[in-house]
Structure 1
Amino acid sequence: MAFSGGYVFSAVISDKIISPLQSVNPGGAEKVDWDPATKTAFVITGEYTDDKGGQVVAVDYSNGYDQGEVVAEYYLEGDVSDVRVSSKGLVAASVFDRDTREGKVEFFNYEAGELISRGSVDVGFQPDQLSFTKKGHKLVTADEGEPLDFYGSDEAGQNPPGSISIIDINNKKPAKSDVNILYFTKNNSYYENNGVRMYGPEKSGNNKFARIDLEPEYVGITGNKTALVALQENNALAEVNLKKGKITGVFGLGYKDWSGIPFDTTDKDDGYNPSVKEGVTSARMPDGIDTFKTKLGGKKQILFISPNEGDGRVRPDDVNFEAEAAGVYSYGTNSTGAEIDSFVDPLNLIETIYIYDQAGVGSEGDFEAEEGDEFFITKKYGVSSDDEFWSDEVRAKDLEDFGDVSNYDSQIIAEGRLKTLADQNDPVTGNMVGFGGRGFSIHNNEGEVVYDSGNLTEEIAAELGYYPDGRSDDKGTEPETVEYFSFGKKKNKRHYIAVALERCYNNGDEDELGTIVPIFEVVDINAADNDDRVKHVATLQSPESLSPEGLLFVNDSKTSGHMFVTNEVSRTLDTYAISQADLG
C-alpha cells in the first residue's frame, strides 16, 4: 500500500521553541528510561570503548529536573543497546558481543545510589530494543541479528538470524527467568505476499531465507497482550501474541508516493531546494515506533506511529585503515620497521597486516588512495571498501549500469545523487525507490496509513536553519524515533507526538551542533484533509547537543510533564519542561 500523493503540504509551522532545563553528559547517551519511585533516569552509553564495555548510568533528579547528577555506573562486556525499568523497579539492559552478535539481557536493582547486578539471561542475536509489559511480568526484546563483517563474501555464517525474545520475569531471581525466542520460520512466499521486503545474497534457492533476513528493530507493547515489532530493513511490522508466545502476523508498511510533494534529492545545491519529482516513492523503514489509542472510524483502535528513517542492508562499515594523504600505498604480512600502521587480520585473527606509505614494500601488493579514504583490508580479500562485499544501495547515476534510464525522472538522473534501493527500481515504469519517508506516518492496526507528514519535518528544519543539506541525497532529516504522550483525561484527552530528527543541526553553528525535536498534536485523525489531522505545535531545541537517539516523556500532572532526550553524538541527556499551555 502507498500513501496517496498529489498535493503540496500547506501545514502551518509553529514558531514556539522550548529550550532545555539542563544538559548532562553521563559519558554517552543513546537510550533512556525513568524510575518514578527514585526519580532516577537510567541511560546507556552504547558501544564498547577504551577496552571497557558499554555502560548503564544512573542520573539522579531527586533535587529537580534541572539538577540531574550522575550517581552510579555499571560497565558491561559488549555493546549496550537499550535500558528499561519495569513497574516493579527492575532495571534491564540489552547487551551483545560485537563480533558474534550473541545477546543477553542484564538485570539490576538500584539501591542507595548503586547499581547492583541481578544476573542475566541469554536472548537472540544482537538485542536492540527492550519493552516491559505494563505490569512488569514480561520483557520483550527485538533481536536484530545484523550481518557480520564478511557479509556478502564467501565466508559462511555471516548473517545471524533475527528474532523476538519474550522473557517471563522472575522478579525474585531475574537470572532464572524463562526465555522464549521466536524466529521467522515460514516460507519466503508468506512474507513477500504480505508486503515484506527481503533482499540479500543468500536468498537464491533458500526458501527459508526470512529466518536470517528479517531484522527486528523496535518493540511497541499495547497493554499486556500484544507487541508490535518494527522490522526496519524489511520495511515491515510483526505482531506478537505475548500470551501465546507466537508471531501472529507480519505485514509490509508500503511505499510513500512523493507525487506532488517537493523534496530535495541532492547534497550539491548549497541548501534546501525542494522540487517535485516524477515517479518517486520511498520505503518507510521505521526505527523507534510507538503506539496509542484513539477513535478511528467510530471505534477505539490502537494506532502505531512510524518514524520513517530508512536503513539499508549493507555489509557493516567497519574499516581498519584510513589514508592520511593521497598517494600509493602497499600492504603485507612483512614488517620492515618502516610501516605506518599495523593490525591483526580481521579474518584469520592470527597474522598481522602492515601498511606502508610507498609502493613495492608490502608483500601483498599496492593500492592507491585519496586523503581520507577508508579501507577494510585482509590478506584473503585484499583492499576492500566498506561496502565491498554487499550493498543494496545504488546512486541514481549508477542506474545506467543496469540499462536504459530514460523513463526515470530526468532531474534526479542529472543530479545523480539520490540513494535508491537496488532491488526496487523499475526501468520500465520509471518508478524510483529511495530510503526512508523523510517524516513520520500513523497507521491503523492493519498497517494502512491514516496520516503521513509529507515534507513537514524537512520544512520545519529549513525554517529553523537546521536542515542537513549534506543528507538530501540520502534520507534527509532521518526521523530516528517518536514518543507519544497526552494531556487530560478521557473526552478531554489531547494527543501529542515528539519526533527526533537525527541528522539536523544548526547551520549557523561553526561546530555544527544543535538538536531539534518537533512536537505535533493529533487533532482529528478522521479529518478529510491530511493537514487537518495533525499539526505542528512546538519544537524542542538544544544548541549544544547533536543527534537525538532516544525520547522519553514523563507525566507530572494531567497538564504537564518532562521530556528526556538522549543525543548520541554529543553524548548528552537533555531535559525539557512541557505543559499543555506550551502546546497551545
Structure 2
Amino acid sequence: MKKSLLILSLLFATQYFFSCSKDEEEFFVNEDAATFAEIGTLDIGDVGAAEISAYDPQTKRLFVVNNGTVNKIDVIDFADPTKLQVISSISMAPYGGAVNSVSVSNGKLAAAIEASDKQANGKVVVFNTSDYKEVKVVNVGALPDMVTYTPDGNYILTANEGEPNATYTNDPVGSVSIIAVNNNYTVNTIDFSSFATQQTALMAKGLRIFGLNATFAKDIEPEYIAVSDDSKTAWVTLQENNAIAKLNIETKTITSIFPLGFKDYNLDANAVDISDRDNVIAPAKWNVKGMYQPDAIAFMEQGGIPYLFTANEGDSREYDAFAEIKRVASLKLDPTNFPDATFIQTAKAGRLNVTTTLGDTDGDGDYDFLYSLGARSFSVWNGNDGNLLFDSKNELDTKIIAAGVYDDTRSDDKSIEPEGITIGKVGNKKVAFVGMERVDAVAVYDVSVPTSPVFLQIIKCGDAPEGVLFIPAKNSPIQKSLLVVSSENDGVIKVYKPNTL
C-alpha cells in the first residue's frame, strides 16, 4: 500500500513538474525586440482623449482615460488587437472632474480622479473590470495625477500633485496616498513636511523649492510612481522639484529625497539644437545646463540593485501670479561667463526658454548660469542612493533627426520631450520604451545591461504619446508581446507587435 502511494505521489509530482514546465514554455515567445510594427489602431476622440491605458487580462479589455468631450473611461474590446472597438464607457460625473490615470489588478480597475475644484482632495474609485460596478470610493490628496497597483495587488498608490490655483492663493500640499486593498481600502496620505529641515542641503544638490510664498510641503509636486517587484518600496518623481523620492510602503513613510542635479550641454556628447529660428537642425555645445525633471519612471532590478529609468521631460510653473520662464535674450547675462555678445541672437541661444529661479549665484542681478527645462533624454538612477548611472545624452535627438521626424520648432523649449517610459521582457531581452511627446514617436532600447542601454528602433505613433503600456506575452490575448501607445492630442490608440523568431 505504501509503495503504491509512493508511486502515485511520484507520478503526480512528475506530471506537475512537466505541466508547470510546459506552461512556462508556452509563455515564452522568442521575439525580436527591434521589430515592433503596428497591428491595430483606434481613434476615440480628439484633444484630451486617450491619455493613459490599462489592460485587464481576465476580461481582455483595455481601459483608457478619455477627457475629450466628457470625463470618462472608455472600455475597449482587446481580444483581437487588430480589431479594436469601444464597447462601453464609465462616466466620471458622479466623482468629480477629470480622470488622470488608471491601473488594473486582479479584476479591479483603479481610477485617479481630480476634484472639480483642482485644489480640493481628489478620489480613487475602484471598479470591477467585468461589469464596471463601483467597488469603493477613497478620498486621496489634491490632484491625484497617477495611480498604480503594487505588483502583488495589495496596495494602490497615487501621486497627488497638489498644483496651485492661477493666483497662487491656494497651493495644496503635495502628497502620496497608500491604499490597503485587503483592509477595506483604508488610506494613508503622507506628505513631505518631515524634510523641511533639510531644505537648504537638498537645494544645494539640485532640489528646487521655488513656488510663490510656498512652504516645503506645498511646493513638492509628486508626478509618477514606480514600485519594486517585491511591492515593498516605491519611487516617486517630483518633476517640478527636479528630484525623486523613495517611499517605504510597509511603514508608509518617505525615507529619502534624491535631488537629480543638472545636465551640462557644453559637452560634445550632450550637443543639442536650442534655436527654433536658425533654419537648420544643428546640434552644438552650449554654455547651458538642463534640469532633468522626469515625468514617468520605471523600475527594474538586476543583481540586487534597483534601477530607476526616467523620462526627462521637464516642466515649468506658469501661472497668472507666478511665471518662471523667460527667453535668454531678455535676461542680463554675466559678462565673464558669457563673453560672446552674439550668444543671445535669435539663431543662437536667444530663443531658448530658461528658468529665472536659478542662475544668479552671486545675487548681483545678472545670470551666471542658465538652466533650461528637462534633459532631452532618458536616464538610469540607482534606487538606493539616487546616483546617476546612465544618461542617453543627445542620442534621442540624434535618432529622431536621423528618422526625419525632428520638430525644430521645439528646439528652443524642451525638444523631443521624453514623457512616458515602461520596461518589459521581449524574448530574452529586457526592453525600455520611451514615448516622446513632441515628435510623436517611441524609442525602443535593449536594457538587458541597465547601465548600457542599446538603441533598437524608432516607432511612429499618434499625436503626443502620453501612455506607453507593455503587455507581456503571458498576459497578451494573442500570447505575443504587445506595446500599446495612447496619444492625448488626437485620441489615437495604436498597438504594436514584434516579429517572432
TM-score computed with the length of structure 1 as normaliser: 0.73
Cα 1:409/1:576, change in 2 over 3 Å: farther
CA shift digits 1:452-480 (9 cap, x unpaired) = 11111111111111111111010000001
Q: In the TM superposition, what is the alpha-carbon distance from 1:424 to its structure 2 partner?
A: 1.6
Q: Structure 1 residue 118: deviation in Å?
A: 2.2
**Quick one: distance in 2 between partners of 1:406 and 1:427?**
13
Which secondary structure does the structure 1 equivalent of 2:273 belong to? coil
Query: Do the aligned partners of residues 189 and 413 (structure 1) sit closer, same or farther apart at CA in structure 2, a change above 3 Å counting?
Result: farther
Rounded Cα–Cα distance in structure 1 between residues aligned with 2:52 and 2:194? 33
Q: Which moved more, 1:571-580 or 1:435-444?
A: 571-580
Match of 1:530 in 2: none
Corresponding residue to 1:425 among 359, 362, 382: 359
CA RMSD of aligned residues (A): 2.3
| TM superposition shift of 1:232 | 0.4
Secondary structure at 2:481 match in 1: strand
The Cα shift of 1:522 comes to 2.0
What's the offset of the Cα at 1:523? 5.0
Partner in structure 2 of residue 24 of structure 1: 42
Q: Which residue of 2 aligns with 1:104?
A: 123
The amino acid that maps onto 2:258 is F
Structure-2 separation of matches of 1:264 and 1:466: 14
Distance in structure 1 (CA, Å) of the matches to 2:123 and 2:449: 42
Distance verdict in 2 for CA 1:458–1:580, change over 3 Å: farther
Q: Does structure 2 retain, via aligned residues, the 8 Å contact 1:140–1:167? A: yes
Q: Is the 8 A contact 2:35 2:499 kept in 1?
A: no
For structure 2, the 5+ residue unaligned runs are 1-32
Trace 1:392-407 onto structure 2 (pairs within 5 A).
392-400=324-332, 404-407=334-337
Query: Could you tell me how far 1:292 is from its partner in structure 2?
Result: 0.3
CA distance in 1, matches of 2:453, 2:245: 26
Judged with a 3 Å threshold, the aligned counterparts in structure 2 of structure 1 residues 305 and 192 are, in CA distance, closer, same or farther, namely farther
- Structure 1 residues 562, 417: closer, same or farther in 2, change over 3 A? same
- Residues 258-277 of structure 1 mapped to structure 2, 5 A cutoff: 258=265, 259-260=267-268, 261-277=270-286
- Partner of residue 373 from structure 2, selected from 415, 426, 435: 435
- Which of 67, 78, 83 aligns to 2:102? It is 83
1:364-423 deviation digits (Å, cap 9, x = unpaired): xxxxxxxxxxxxxxxxxxxxxxxx4201212101212xx645523745422311111212
SS at the partner of 1:145?
coil
Distance 1:201 1:20 in 2: 46
Q: Does 1:575 align with 2:492?
A: no
Deviations 1:206-229 (A, max 9, x none): xxx111000000010102111101
- SS of residue matched to 1:190: helix
> SS of the residue aligned with 2:345?
helix
5+ residue gaps, structure 1: 1-14, 204-208, 316-387, 505-514, 527-532
Q: Which residue of 1 aligns with 2:174?
A: 162
User: CA 1:434 to 1:409, structure 2 compared with 1: closer, same or farther past 3 Å?
Assistant: farther
Give SS of 2:296's match: coil
Matched residue SS, 2:142: coil
Within the candidate set 495, 517, 526, 2:430 is matched to 495
Alignment-derived partner of residue 185 in structure 1: 193
Q: Give, as a single letter, the amino acid of the residue that structure 2 aligns with 1:574.
A: K
Asked if structure 2 preserves the Cα contact closer than 8 Å seen for 1:215 and 1:231, the reply is yes
Deviations 1:229-272 (A, max 9, x none): 10000001111111111111111111112222320111112342
Alignment of 1:408 onto 2:338: yes
Letter of the 2:239 partner, please give it.
Q
CA distance in 2, matches of 1:465, 1:98: 42
Does structure 2 retain, via aligned residues, the 8 Å contact 1:517–1:539? yes
What CA distance in whole angstroms lies between the structure 1 residues aligned with 2:38 and 2:171?
A: 41
The answer to whether residue 44 in structure 2 is matched with residue 35 in structure 1 is no
| Corresponding residue to 1:302 among 306, 329, 335 | 306
Task: Tell me the equivalent position of 1:199.
Answer: 210
Note the alpha carbon deviations across 1:274-313, whole angstroms, 9 max, x for none: 11113x2110000011010123xxxx21100010000012
- What is the match of residue 216 of structure 1? 222
Task: Specify whether residues 187 and 36 from structure 1 end up closer, same or farther in structure 2 by C-alpha distance, changes over 3 A only.
Answer: closer
Q: Structure 1 residues 396 and 120, CA, compared in 2 at 3 Å: closer, same or farther?
A: same
Indicate conservation of the 8 Å contact 1:409/1:430, yes or no.
no
Q: State the match for 1:248 in structure 2.
A: 255
1:93 and 2:143 matched = no
Cα offset for 1:55? 0.9
- Is the 8 Å Cα contact of residues 292 and 302 (structure 1) preserved in structure 2? yes
Residue 519 (structure 1) aligned with residue 444 (structure 2): yes
Letter of the structure 1 residue corresponding to residue 240 of structure 2 = E
Distance 1:405 1:571 in 2: 48
- Tell me which residue corresponds to 1:372: none
Do the aligned partners of 2:37 and 2:498 also contact (CA within 8 Å) in 1?
no
Counterparts of 1:231 and 1:427 in 2: how far apart (Å)? 24
CA contact (8 A) 1:262 1:455 kept: yes
Letter matched to residue 462 of structure 1 = I
TM-superposed deviation, 1:186: 2.5
**1:170 Cα offset (Å):** 4.3
Matched ranges for 1:131-146 at <5 A: 131-146=148-163
Change in 2 beyond 3 A, CA 1:516/1:84: same
Against the structure 1 CA distance between its residues 286 and 98, is the aligned structure 2 distance closer, same or farther, given a 3 Å change threshold?
farther
Which of 100, 125, 150 is matched with 2:167 structurally?
150
Higher relative contact order (CA 8 A, sep 6+): 2
